[in-house]
Chain A
Amino acid sequence: MSEQEKKEDVRIGIFVCHCGSNIGGLIDCKALAEYAKTLPNVAHAEDNLFTCSETGLASIKKAVEEHDLNRVVVASCTPRTHEPLFRECISEVGLNRYLFNFVNIRDQCTWVHMKYPKEAYEKAKDLIRMGAYRAVILEPLDTIIVNVNPGALVIGGGVAGMHAALNLSRQGFKTYLIEKEDKLGGRLNSLYKLFPHDIDASEFVENIKNNVQNAQNLEVYTSSKLKNIKGFIGNYEVEVEQDGKKINLSVGAIIVAVGASLLKPNNLFGYDGKNRITQHELEPKIKNNEINANNIVMIQCVGSRNDERQYCSSVCCMTALKNALIIKEKKSDINITILFRDLYTPGIDYEEYYKKARKKGVLFIRYGLDKEPTVEGNQIKVYNEYIGEEIIIPYDLLVLSTPLIANDDNKELAQILKVPLEVNNFFLEAHVKLRPNDFATDGIYIGGSAKWPVDITESITQGYAAASRASTILSHETIEIEGATAYLPEWNKNLCKGCEVCINICPYNAIKKNEEDEIEIIEALCKGCGVCGAACTKKAIIIKHFTNEQILAEIYAFGGK
């Protein structure tokens, strides 16, 4: 241990979390805490079953006071979920929130090395030592305060978007709703009845449209497309194009509610758009009394729940039941057979609906992915598991239940908003469990089928939910944002040669040249990702909280056991 790290005024406290058995079940946390005590500048170390519990947090605060700590290191799960909590905790006992260092010994250690406890223990020691060395040279930082424009942009005028916009406008926020089609309503416009109460879709959608049209604080732009967005949470400058004309809007938060598209089942089960059609094509036929069939067969999971598209589209079983029930109601002697894999009718009303369809005489035959039905002329062959042999069903109308798929232009929108998509090109939320309607980027929210196929009820829920999340920002005149940003200090300005690599490389457009032709970093836009700092050949840009010195201290600690 070299003497130079021994800093008189630094007193580190290290808290090693068992995380129940997530960490403690694999490696000895008590021993890790004992090891931590041997590191330079460490004034206190302990292990906790759950450092994040109220008891654990009280223990941190107590230790800060008792041992006069001025740096806190927690070795536990992941900063992704827990860093804000621990920062808040130390700030409550008077320490600057940036004097906290997170050491990830769960996600990046015990979880990934689950089968190698000995090696995981050694790695955890390394990580803790590295964290302690970095903690020594952490510096207090200020968070940045920005003003909030109390206006919202909702992208997408379907059922989710309209409910989000209505709610925000009723809360008193100026709201802009943009829709790429020439009218509001989205998929509702092309549906006949809505499950599970068989409410008339056009009445339902007209009613919502009326509410939107009569709402105060709410401006609607149809035939409009988002072209560009500049700015950051609380302060977005939005460029919208309507019929070739540019409109500029200023808002504080953005909601994405662009819905989803339907898969066209080309090459599947002989789809021809005539007597082999999709559920979506069936609806207008039912509405206009154009069903001339005596034998209808519906096939579920067409193009979904397979290797190419693994997911369940979650609305197709109910759609099939709905259309089957309505047809049966109009003409009860039509034979309807539904070929399904697992019938998806969760909850109370949906299961009831399924029962109703069975009672009305709709036939259900289960098939497996290994024995898919085949279409031969006017017959379907399907292996019936109950009787253990293949059966032949004649049809004069074949209806294919195809999944909702991500919109083609999601990629383009994701790029403009700088938000991620998941593997099927649906938008990816911040946390699938606990932040279902947030993006990882604060200030932008998500609801409805843009995120994942959902039915109308859940689209409404999510529309409101996204509005609620946006309101948590819009309700404030100012908000605090992350202080760990890129920074070009006065004393480094002479190092900068004006090469502009940083400007070109910044994914957030946070760097520009000012009137004096000098590099300027707009801190509120900067996410602290560090690419400019790494790219700057003159080392002029400093990344606060991740300075070269701080990173080198970790590397040094790793090598210099």
Chain B
Amino acid sequence: MEEASKRALVIGGGIAGIQASLDLADMGIHVDLIEKKPCIGGKMAQLDKTFPTNDCSICILAPKLSECYRNLNITLYSYSEVQKVEGIVGNFSVEILKHARYVKEDLCINCGLCVEKCPMRVEDEFDRQLRKRRAIYMYYLQGVPAIMTIDKKNCLWFTKEACRICEKNCEKEAIDFNQKDELIKINNIGSIIVATGYNLIEDIDNDILKNYGYQKYRNVVTALEFERMLSASGPQEGHIKRISDGEEPKKIAYLQCIGSRTDRGAKYCSSICCMYTTKEAMIAHEHDNELESYIFYIDMRAGGKGFQSFLRRGEAEYDIKYIKSKIAEISIDKNESPIIVYEDLDTSEIKKLKVDIVVLATCIIPPEGIVKLAEVIGFELDDYNFIKTPPFSPVKTSRDGIFTCGCVHEPMDIPRSVAEGSSAAARAAEIIRGG
């Protein structure tokens, strides 16, 4: 079986794509793994911990990242995008655009000397704009491949033909300002798996979020921002502080269903927020045992393994108060502390609560670039632009030989993304092995 000559192409190096790649590679099938960002890892790499075991996210992810990098059956194309797909099921040809990093991948040892010297300060995407990085940077600390990237839009050499300090300081002579984008053609691809993940509503639209004071009040943050604030390798180095004054919070409110389950935003349920919110409240409580947490929700959705016990633990051991409610308004006091006005649906009363930080559980939306990718590959999208899958064929797309897994077709948590990654691998293997 190991001689199977057809390859598989996996687009997207988040946890779903990683699992699909590793399974196929372990079946002896060669995988070309394409990741748009400078490093694989996806959203899971940005999380502090994962529910319901509260395992450290990057800790359990890191071995898989390394495996993707080392496995001889996986060719990793980071900082790359699929441009063109030709052929039919069982025999696709794909054209990939590999962006120039302006750093020689075989020479860079990620020593960090270049970063130290780079004079530019740029908003850090990985840290959700809560910290500055340099124009030459490692996408994130534990990133794979562990190679620097020059961000052309902000590098002084590309914008003003000045500087080149990184080049002078690189002992390995790994900087290459003449590097060009590369077009790579891969033939003999039996099946393709699309696992390009998701974006969040704050990535495209702030209209809904404005109602909750986001970007108007500094102590209103989104859940992924808060995740970075909790993280030891994040902008606050694992000490939760208010953005406005650096004070440690004593009361945090978490607002569910922001931009989801509403006719004004997305009608669907984002699936994961009830659980990650409880997790964030638990972790915050571990930072400070006197912290009070309030979760404002519509329905607590906790159907997965161990999820209900997790909520019970939250209430009993972490001082989390769950409030079935509707949010009316958010304002701030003179210390920039958010004041929430809400209707308590248990008592039908209008109430007020002043907190130190508000965390918004924002809606999952289809990933940027999915419309173009759907055109390039030729699969259908649903009304929201998630990939359309037929009933009871959870990882199949409308085009033969093209499979999908993870949040790119519906919001889902990590265990389901992993199961779907394996599932898509099984389907792709069927085709590659001629079944």
Residues of A within 8 A of B (CB): 18-22, 24-25, 49-50, 52-55, 57-58, 77, 81-82, 84-85, 88, 92, 114, 150, 167, 169-172, 194, 197, 199, 204, 305, 310-314, 342-348, 350-352, 355, 366, 368, 385-388, 422, 426, 431-437, 451-453, 456-458, 460-462, 464-469, 471-472, 474-477
Contact = CB atoms under 8 A, between A and B. Distances in A.
A24 B56 CA distance: 13
B303 A348 contact: no
Contacts of B312: 310
A85 to B, nearest CB: 4
Given A114-B286, A351-B268, A436-B419, A82 B63 contact: yes
Contact of A437 (B145, B286, B422, B429): B422
Contacts of A21: 232, 237-238
A22 B232 contact: yes
B422 A355 contact: no
Interface string B67-87: 101100000000000000000
Nearest to B310: A310
B426 A345 contact: no
A85 B63 contact: yes
Interface string B308-338: 1100100000000000100000000000000
Nearest to B273: A346
Contacts of A18: 232
Most buried by B among A19, A81, A194, A436: A436
Contacts of A457: 392, 394
Nearest to A312: B303
* Contact size range, B: 35 or more
Contacts of B347: 385, 388
B426 A167 contact: yes
B384 A348 contact: yes
B413 to A, nearest CB: 9
B307 A312 contact: yes
B268 A312 contact: no
Contact of B420 (A451, A461, A467): A461
A81 B60 contact: yes
A355 B395 CA distance: 25
A351 B269 contact: yes
24 contacts: A49-B233, A50-B62, A54-B69, A55-B142, A84-B63, A85-B62, A167-B430, A197-B391, A305-B308, A312-B307, A342-B299, A342-B300, A345-B269, A345-B301, A346-B301, A351-B261, A385-B346, A433-B53, A434-B414, A436-B419, A457-B392, A460-B423, A469-B23, A472-B27
A267 to B, nearest CB: 22
Interface string B12-29: 000100000001001110
A531 to B, nearest CB: 28
A81 B305 CA distance: 20
A432 B269 contact: no
Given A114-B286, A461-B394, A471-B429, A22 B56 contact: yes
B109 interface: yes
A119 B378 CA distance: 60
Contacts of A312: 302-303, 307-308
A456 B422 contact: no
B232 A20 contact: yes
B127 interface: no
Given A457-B394, A464-B422, A468-B425, A150 B1 contact: yes
Contact of B348 (A24, A199, A348, A386): A386
B28 A475 contact: yes
Contacts of B391: 197, 199
A50 B142 contact: yes
A433 B69 contact: no
Contacts of A458: 394, 416, 419
A206 B419 CA distance: 26
Given A347-B410, A387-B348, 10 more contacts: A53-B62, A54-B145, A81-B60, A170-B433, A431-B60, A434-B15, A436-B415, A461-B419, A465-B422, A468-B426
Contact of B141 (A50, A347, A387, A469): A50
B59 A52 contact: yes
A493 B431 CA distance: 53
B435 A172 contact: yes
A344 B27 CA distance: 37
Contacts of B423: 460-462, 464-465, 468
Interface string B42-62: 000000001011011011111
Contact of B27 (A199, A313, A422, A475): A475
Nearest to A386: B348
A307 to B, nearest CB: 9
B66 A54 contact: yes
B238 A314 contact: no
Nearest to B349: A388
